[in-house]
Structure 1
Amino acid sequence: MTQKITVIRGDGIGPEIMDATLYVLDQLNAGLEYEDADAGLVALEKHGDLMPAVTLESIARNKVALKSPLTTPVGGGFTSINVSLRRHFDLYANVRPAHTFPNTKS
């Protein structure tokens, strides 16, 4: 079974980070299929919007997105792309599992 995920390559070093991440995932044979989507400065140049509707539709459809760092332009009333994503998808918690091990200071 495969799972399609939305991949947002990002700006700056984002594409390089994403290439390395996707390489690792491919080596794991995790059954992932990728759907590229634009956000950030690339999206602003191509679509005239930092977070185009087509990208939001892709994330909603696939229910999973993998995102590299994105640039939000300074000034001009731009809202952080991360904040926009959290608000749009009602995501307000970043819960990460943590484990403690016996006989270790934590």
Structure 2
Amino acid sequence: MDVQKQTTEQLIQILELYIQEQEQTSTTMLSAQGKLYCPESFISPFTHSEADDAYDELLNRNADEHHKLIETFLQKRNRHDFHLGILCTRMVQHITNLKGGELPDEYLKAME
């Protein structure tokens, strides 16, 4: 998605959907698409990368009147990054425990 072609209102909607998704996330899971979500909750149709791009574009447009939304987005994104980091750490620990302390080659390649 080219965020530069989106209207300011569309960018705001992307951030609002991201915020809504994060507020409803209580059980942390990682989808095949790399999205953090709660299986019982609403899931935004936009990826987290698209939400980040929308945030960057709003900043580029000097959308100062939306500073509260931007602050809320950053708070939710920081929470997401914190939980994603914990999730990744737990996954790596689980895999290394299963494999005797070594990550399989396919995981090492994916991490590069």
The normalised TM-score by structure 2 is 0.30
Pick 1 or 2: higher relative contact order, CA cutoff 8 A, min separation 6. Answer: 1
Larger fraction in helix:
2
